[in-house]
Amino acid sequence: MTVWLSLLTACVVISFTPGAGAINTMSNALSQGWRRSIWGVIGQQLALIVHVAIVAAGVGLVVSRSEFLFNAIRYAGAAYLVYLGIRLIVARPALPAEDPTAPITFESRWSMMRRGFWVNLLNPKAIVFFLAFIPQFIRLDEQPLPQYLALVGTVIVVDVFVMWGFFAAAARPFRRLTRSERGQRTLNSVFGALFIGVAALLMFVH
């Protein structure tokens, strides 16, 4: 129980740290609505599962020790974030919907899940982080599978709660800005710049 409480505390702190996932979640909440933003959050959780699986299989150690592999993933992740940022900045504002409670534009659930998945997956530092993070909560004298399941379950529940319950909810007061063309352009430019800023951090901060 002590180990799990330590894991829970660490997960809460990590999830509240702003990053590309938080930016993606808030952007989805603004453009698609709070409820529909959950699909992007689900995609991000699928990426977290892959990260843990990579570390558990030992592939993460290979990536962390290979400068070529690490940089290849890093550059791909940065390029994808820049692409998302530019796409937001140049996006054409949508006309307000007749129903004031409806989202201005509709994006498929699969598209939101896919974007959330790639935003989280293409971050080599996440692999290195989990490589350093996981061993602290896995006991070698116990069966690994139940421990990994408990770890993944805790990480996902906490991250969904923080992303959907905090970051997505925090965007709701600004949703009224999406009812005007100027407001949409402003929000798209802000979030586009944030995506590009995170890409720059991924590229240049070691």
Cα distance between residue 29 and residue 7, in whole Å: 28
Judge contact between 203 and 74, C-beta under 8 A. yes
Query: Would you say residue 43 lies in a domain?
Result: yes
Tell me: pLDDT of 185 over 70: yes
pLDDT at 205: 62
The stretch 52-74 carries a mean pLDDT of 81
Query: Would you say residue 153 lies in a domain?
Result: yes
Cα distance between residue 114 and residue 109, in whole Å: 8
Please, which pLDDT band fits residue 206 given cuts at 50, 70 and 90?
low
Domain assignment of residue 173, given as a range:
21-204
Q: Computed from CA positions of residues 189, 77, 50, 60, in that sequence, does the dihedral angle turn out positive or negative?
A: negative
Query: Would you say residue 162 lies in a domain?
Result: yes
For the chain, the average pLDDT equals 83
Cβ density class 172-204: b for 16+ within 10 Å, e for less: eeebeebeeeebbeebbebbbebbbebbeebbe
Nearest C-alpha neighbor of 151 from the set 163, 162, 139, 161: 139
The stretch 110-135 carries a mean pLDDT of 85
Cα distance between residue 18 and residue 66, in whole Å: 27
The stretch 48-53 carries a mean pLDDT of 90
pLDDT at 47: 93
Query: Would you say residue 8 lies in a domain?
Result: no
Radius of gyration of the chain (CA): 18
Query: Would you say residue 12 lies in a domain?
Result: no
Tell me: pLDDT of 127 over 70: yes
pLDDT at 160: 94
Tell me: pLDDT of 142 over 60: yes
Please, which pLDDT band fits residue 98 given cuts at 50, 70 and 90?
very low
Please, which pLDDT band fits residue 105 given cuts at 50, 70 and 90?
low
Please, which pLDDT band fits residue 96 given cuts at 50, 70 and 90?
low
Split into its structural domains, the chain has a count of 1
Higher pLDDT, 69 or 36: 36
Tell me: pLDDT of 97 over 50: no
Query: Would you say residue 1 lies in a domain?
Result: no
Query: Would you say residue 138 lies in a domain?
Result: yes
Q: Computed from CA positions of residues 202, 123, 41, 58, in that sequence, does the dihedral angle turn out positive or negative?
A: negative
The stretch 16-38 carries a mean pLDDT of 88
Q: What is the pLDDT of residues 152-177, one digit of tens each?
A: 999 999 999 999 999 999 888 877 77
Query: Would you say residue 118 lies in a domain?
Result: yes
